[in-house]
Amino acid sequence: MLKREVAVLLAMVLLVAAVAVLITRISNSQGGAETEFVQNAVKNAAITCYAVEGAYPDDLSYLRENYGLAYNENRYLVTYNAFASNQLPEIYVMEKGATLP
């Protein structure tokens, strides 16, 4: 009887561990999708600016002020490298506290 109780308890522990791993993986995959969403938002705002004004803006603050760009600045680090007014800037987005692959 004791062996059966131990087996049931072990099975429950393994089930809980598997659920925890699954939840962690789902959470991590959603974080990547949200990071991609922020990157696309920055890129789309820059392209809209170029279409309207004929030049890409020098920095993110211009996109925030004039094109309604908004994202959680406490959660994401956005690097916007504008090197020419007629070329799409390099845009990098990373979740703060995330590690590089």
In this predicted model, what pLDDT tens digit does every residue of 18-75 receive, in sequence order? 545 455 555 555 557 888 999 999 999 999 999 999 999 999 999 999 999 999 999 9
Tokens of 4: 């059966």
- What does the pLDDT average to over 92-99? 82
Q: Among candidates 44, 42, 33, which has minimal Cα distance to 71?
A: 42
Rounded to whole angstroms, the Cα distance separating 56 from 22 reads 42
**Distance of CA 21 to CAs 26, 36, 89, Å?**
9, 23, 38
Q: Residue 87: its pLDDT value, please? A: 94
Show Cβ contacts of residue 58 under 8 Å, excluding neighbours closer than 6 positions.
Answer: 82
pTM over 0.85: no
Task: Report pLDDT for 5.
Answer: 72
Phi then psi for 74, rounded to 5 degrees? -75, -20
